[in-house]
Structure 1
Amino acid sequence: MAEGTTTQWGLRTENAHGLTGTKTIATWTRKAARNTSFTVTGSGWGHGVGMSQYGARAMAAGGKSSEQIIDHYYGPAEVRASSLRAGNNVRVHVLSADSIRLEPSNTLRIHTAQGVKQTTEPVRLTVDPNNSRRVLATLGNGNKHAMETANVEWGGTRYWLSGPSGTLTIPQGDGGSRPLTLAHGRVVATVVSGKVNLITELRLNDEYLYGIAEMPSSWPAEALQAQALASRSYALRQTASVKSECDCHVWDEIRSQKFTGWAKESETTGSTRWGDRWVKAVDATLTKNSSGTPTQAQSIWYGNLVADATYYSSSGGSTRDAADVWGNSVAYLTSKRDPYSVSSAAGNPNASWVSTVSQTTMARAFNLKDVVSVRFTTGKDQAIARITGTSSQGDTSTLTGTQFRSRTGVKSAWVSSVVSA
C-alpha cells in the first residue's frame, strides 16, 4: 500500500467466454487516485497488423520458407515475381536542416551552372541568402555555387562508375543525430519549407533494400527473405507518388522503414560480416540481367495490386485485424493465430512485459481528472478491444486498445492486467 493511502480495493476479474471469444477484465484501484501509478502487464510490441518479425524468426527456425511465412501472416495475399518498376529508383528522405555537411571518403562531384565541380573536401549545403528557392553549395576551397537542385555524386556508383570508389557520409543523416553513410545512388538537395531538403536516390529493388535495418542480419535466411519481401512491397506502394512535404517517396525513419545505408550492408562483428547475409537474402528475391540491373523482383500481391505489407516486432499470440486498429478492412490483414511470436524459438524479449504508467499519464490518456478504476474487454485477437477508465467523481471515458497503447506509451494493446502500484 502506498504511503498516505487509507483505502484500496483488490483486483476483481470477470470472465465471459462466448461465441465472440470476448472476455472482460475489471481492475479496481484505490478511491483516492492521486500520487499513484499503474502496473500494466502485457505481451508483444507494435501495432500488431500483418507480419510479426519475431514470429517470422520462429517460423524460419522451424523450417518454414519465406513464402510460407508470408502466406501465414498475409494470406490470401501471395508472393509473386513482377517486373513492376524493377530497375526504378526510390527517393528516400535523409535530412531537412538549415545547414547540411557532406563528407566524402574520396571524391565528390557536384553538377553546377558552371559545370561539374569535383572536391575531396567536405561540402556545406545551405539556403542561398540571395534566393530562398536555391541551395548554396560551399566547397572546401571557399567557392560557392547556387542552384535550385544540387545533384551530388561519388565514385563507384551507377551515377559515376568511372570515378574513384568511395562513400558519402552525412554526419546527422541517421535520425538527425548520428552519421549516415551511403555507398549507392546519389544525393539530391532542394529547398523545401525554408530548409535544405536532402534525399538519396537509390534503386528500389536492391540498393535501397540493402540498407533497410528492420531485422537483425543474424536471423535465419528465410526470415530475412520474408522481411525483404515485406519491405519491398511497402516501398513499391510508396513509389506511386512523391510526397510534397519531403520531395520523397519514403522517409529513412520508422514512419516509413528504418534505413541505415552502408551501416546495414557492411555490418560486421569480429570476422563475421553480418551485412552479407542480409544482402544475400535481398538478392535471393531478385532476378538481374548481365549488367546487374534488376529485371524482376518478388513482392506480395493481392489481386492486381501490391499488398500493403505492414509489419511490426511481435504479437501477443494473435495478429490484429486492420479494421480494429486503423478502421479499414483489408482482406489479407485480418487477425490470425500467432503462437510463433511468443514461442521459445522466437527468442522474443517482449513475449511478456511489465510497464509502469503514472497516474498523471493515465488521467491524461482518458482525459479525466484522475483514474480510480480501469475495466477492459479483449477481442478474439487477445488485445484490448475497449478500455474504460473511471474517475473518483464517477466520470468515465472509453478508449480503443490502439488509443490506450498510443496515449500511455505501453508496448502493445495485448494487455492482460492493469493494477494499482
Structure 2
Amino acid sequence: MTSPTPRRLRRAVAAAVVAVMLVPAMAAAAAPARFTDVPDSHAFLEEITWLAQQEITTGYSDGTFRPRSEVTRDAFAAFLYRLDGSPTVNLPADSPFTDITPTNTDFYEEIVWLSQQGITKGWKVNGGTEFRPFDTITRDAMAAFLYRYKDEPSVTLPSSSPFVDITPTNTEFYDAIVWLDKTGISTGWSDGTFRPFDGVTREATAAFFYRLEGSPPVVVPANIPKSFTVKGAGFGHGVGMSQYGAQGMAVDGYSADDILKHYYRGTSVSSVNSDKEIKTEIFGSGSDSRDRVVMVVRSPGSSATTGGQWRLMFYDEGDAGEHTTWTGKKDEKLTIIRDVRPNGDNEIVVQRADGTRQRATRQLQFHWEGTGFYQSASSEDPYVQLLKTNGDRASHGDYRHGRMVIRIPSETYPRLIVSNWTELNSEYLYGIAEMPSSWNPEALKAQAIVARGYALRNMQTYSENCVCHLYDDTRSQHFTGWRKENEGTDAYYGKRWVSAVDATTSSGGRDGRVVKSGSAIAQTYYFSSSGGRTENSEDIWTAQLSYLRAVDDPWSLESRNPNRAWTRSLTQSQAASIFGLSNVVSIKVTSRTSDSSMAAATKVTATSSTGQTKSITGPETIRSRVVGGKSPWIWSFTAKY
C-alpha cells in the first residue's frame, strides 16, 4: 500500500483542479443525459446525477441507472477507482487474488488498484486469498472500503453505538461504521439500525460517494421527455347532436324526434318547404385546388354503344346563351383546364379525347342522361366522375343527379371550380355520407333531418368564389353523391339511407322535416362523438344559441364507438413546435369548459426546462393543433422518457 500522505496530497491537488475547472467546464458542455428511471421525485436525484457527471457511472445502454439494483464487489472497486481519478496501475506479474485474472473480470485493473491501496484485503482461504468479485458488497464492507479509502482517519469511539444493531464485538468494522456515522456519510435507517450485512444498492452507493466528497453543488439537468402520450375521448367539435349518441339512443328505443329534442334543447321538429336547388362545390378549393380536372360519364346500363350520353355547353361573358354545344357518350374523357391568356385573363379550355379544343370565358354547363336536364326519360343510371390527370379520383364522390357548372370565379380568385347543382330533398340528401347506412333507421332519420336543416340554413347565403351554398367536405357536410346512394351490393345500404331520407319528407317530396327553434330553422351542428357530455355553443365557438346546450351523452362512451377512448403520441419536437418552446417537460390541461370531469379542454399549457410556459387556448384550436383534429375532450398528457 502506498503512503497515505501522497494519496491525500494527490487527491487534494485533483480536488483543487476540479474546483477550478468545474464551473467553466459545466458552462461550456451540454448537461449529461438524465437516466430514464431516475425521475425528479427520486430521493437521490442529485447524488445519482453527480455520480454520472463525475463519470463514475455511465448507467446502462438502455438509458437506465437501475437505482435499486445491488452493487457487486468488483463494480464497487470500479466506482472507487474512478472516484480517485482512474490513476495509473502497475499490474503485478501475478494476481493478488486467486479468483481474479485479467480475463475473468472487466475490472481486473480496478481490483488490483484496490488491493495495492490497502482498501481491500479479501478472504484468506487454503491456497491464497479470494476477492469474490461477484458477491454483493455488504454495508459493513462498504464502510470499511470507504474508511480505508480515506486513509483510516482517527475516530473517537462513542460510549454507546450510534446504531442499535452494531457493537464493537459483533462486527470487525465497528470503527469504520462509527466514522461513517460521524461524517454523515451514512445515517442508517429510521429504526436506528445500520443493517451491516444487507447489500448496498446503486442509489445508496451514489449517496455515500456524494457525501464522502462533501456533498458538492449539483446542477441537475432537466429531464426532457422523448414524447408525450395524450389520452382523450370523442371525435369532433362537440356541439349539437352526437352521431354515436344518436345511434345509441336509437338502439335503446328512442325515436328520431326524441334524439333531436335531446341534443337540441327546447326545439321542435316539423316540416317546411324544401323543394329547392342546392349548389355544392365538389372540386376547386382547399386540397382540390388545381388548374385542370378530367370529367367522364360512366354508365352501368345495358346499352354498350349509346349509354351515358351527355352534352357540354360553353358560355362567354355577355352571351345570352351558349355559343357551342358538344355531345358525347360514356367513357370519353374531357380534360378541363384553367388557361391564363397573355393579357392575364382566365379562360376555361376543354379538350376532347381526339384533341379537339374549345374555350369559354364565362362558364360551362354539363348535362348527362337520365337527369332532369337531359334525356330525363332514360332508364340508364349514368354518373359523372372527376379524375386527376393520373387517373386518381379528384373529388369525394360520383354524381348521378343534377347538373355541373364549371367556372373560374374571378381574376382575384383564379381557381377552376366544379359545382354540382341538385334538388335538396331527392338528390342532395341522398348523397350525404355523414352516417353509416347500416345504422338504426331512427338514427338515420335524425341525421337526414339535421342535414336538411343545416343545408337550408346555409342556402340563405351563396358564394361566387365556390359557386356554391355548401362544400362537399367537413367545411360543410360530407357529400359523395351516387357513391352513398348506390352503396353496397345492389345498393343495399344506399337504399336504407334513401329510405330514411324519404321518411322525413312529405307532400310528394316537396316538404321536409327540420329542427326548429321557435319559428326559425335551428342551426343543427352535429359531430361524431363526445367524451360523455356535449358542449355549449359559446364554449366551443362564440355565439350563444339557446338550443345548443351541453347535455349528457353516455351513448358516446359505449363499446360501439372506436373513439370512446383514444391515445395519441406527440414527439418532443412536435410538442416544442406546437407550443413554440425550445423544449417541453410537461403539458397540462389548465382550464375546461366546466368543472365536470367530462368537460372539454379550453386551455392547455406546456412548460419548458427553464420554467417558461406557453398556452394554447380555445377548444377548436386545441383540437386542431394539439391532437390532430380528434376532439377537445383531453384527459391527460403523460411524459415518456
Secondary structure of the 1:182 match is coil
Secondary structure of the 2:408 match is strand
Structure 2 counterpart of 1:102: 295
> Is 1:323 matched with 2:538?
yes
Is residue 7–residue 32 contact of structure 1 (8 Å, CA) maintained in 2?
A: no
> Is 1:295 matched with 2:504?
no
> Is 1:152 matched with 2:363?
no
> Is 1:239 matched with 2:459?
yes
Q: TM-score, structure 2 length as denominator?
A: 0.58
- Percent sequence identity is 34
Measure how far apart 1:328 and its partner are: 2.0
After superposition, the C-alpha distances for 1:45-91 in whole angstroms (9 at most, x for unaligned) are 111111111110000001101111000111112212111xx221111
Q: Structure 1's 328 and 89: CA in aligned 2 closer, same or farther, altered over 3 A?
A: same
Alpha-carbon separation, structure 2, partners of 1:80 and 1:95 = 34
Alpha-carbon separation, structure 2, partners of 1:145 and 1:389 = 58
> Is 1:191 matched with 2:403?
no
Measure how far apart 1:110 and its partner are: 1.4
Structure 2 counterpart of 1:252: 472
Alpha-carbon separation, structure 1, partners of 2:34 and 2:426 = 59
Q: Structure 1's 52 and 396: CA in aligned 2 closer, same or farther, altered over 3 A?
A: same
Measure how far apart 1:117 and its partner are: 2.5
Q: Structure 1's 406 and 337: CA in aligned 2 closer, same or farther, altered over 3 A?
A: same
Q: Structure 1's 252 and 384: CA in aligned 2 closer, same or farther, altered over 3 A?
A: same
Measure how far apart 1:7 and its partner are: 4.5
Is residue 80–residue 300 contact of structure 1 (8 Å, CA) maintained in 2?
A: yes
Structure number having the greater helix percentage: 2
Aligned mate of 2:440, from 220, 226, 231? 220
> Is 1:8 matched with 2:39?
yes
The higher radius of gyration belongs to 2
Aligned mate of 1:282, from 491, 501, 513? 501
Is residue 281–residue 419 contact of structure 2 (8 Å, CA) maintained in 1?
A: yes
Aligned mate of 1:200, from 405, 417, 420? 420
Structure 2 counterpart of 1:40: 230
Is residue 154–residue 163 contact of structure 1 (8 Å, CA) maintained in 2?
A: no
Partner AA of 1:191 in structure 2? I
After superposition, the C-alpha distances for 1:190-237 in whole angstroms (9 at most, x for unaligned) are 113333211110111221111111100000000001111111111111
Aligned mate of 1:386, from 603, 606, 609? 603
Is residue 450–residue 514 contact of structure 2 (8 Å, CA) maintained in 1?
A: yes
Gaps spanning 5+ residues in structure 2: where? 1-32, 42-219, 285-289, 299-307, 315-321
Structure 1 counterpart of 2:76: none
Structure 2 counterpart of 1:119: 328
Structure 1 counterpart of 2:279: 91
Measure how far apart 1:397 and its partner are: 2.2
Structure number having the greater strand percentage: 1
Alpha-carbon separation, structure 1, partners of 2:393 and 2:626 = 25
Alpha-carbon separation, structure 2, partners of 1:239 and 1:107 = 31
Alpha-carbon separation, structure 2, partners of 1:31 and 1:413 = 33
Is residue 340–residue 346 contact of structure 2 (8 Å, CA) maintained in 1?
A: no
Alpha-carbon separation, structure 1, partners of 2:271 and 2:401 = 24
> Is 1:418 matched with 2:637?
yes
Structure 2 counterpart of 1:68: 258
> Is 1:352 matched with 2:565?
yes
After superposition, the C-alpha distances for 1:237-289 in whole angstroms (9 at most, x for unaligned) are 111121232121111111111111111101114x6710100000011111243
Secondary structure of the 1:316 match is coil
Is residue 311–residue 325 contact of structure 2 (8 Å, CA) maintained in 1?
A: yes
Structure 1 counterpart of 2:492: 273
Alpha-carbon separation, structure 2, partners of 1:341 and 1:153 = 43
Structure 2 counterpart of 1:409: 627
Partner AA of 1:152 in structure 2? F
Is residue 171–residue 179 contact of structure 1 (8 Å, CA) maintained in 2?
A: no
Measure how far apart 1:33 and its partner are: 4.9
Measure how far apart 1:128 and its partner are: 4.5
Is residue 438–residue 493 contact of structure 2 (8 Å, CA) maintained in 1?
A: yes
Alpha-carbon separation, structure 2, partners of 1:9 and 1:102 = 62
After superposition, the C-alpha distances for 1:322-357 in whole angstroms (9 at most, x for unaligned) are 11111221111111111111124xx10111111111
Gaps spanning 5+ residues in structure 1: where? 11-29
Is residue 81–residue 299 contact of structure 1 (8 Å, CA) maintained in 2?
A: yes
Partner AA of 1:150 in structure 2? L
Alpha-carbon separation, structure 2, partners of 1:264 and 1:31 = 57
Alpha-carbon separation, structure 1, partners of 2:221 and 2:312 = 67
RMSD: 2.6
Partner AA of 2:334 in structure 1? V
Q: Structure 1's 136 and 177: CA in aligned 2 closer, same or farther, altered over 3 A?
A: closer
Alpha-carbon separation, structure 2, partners of 1:68 and 1:57 = 12
Secondary structure of the 2:397 match is strand
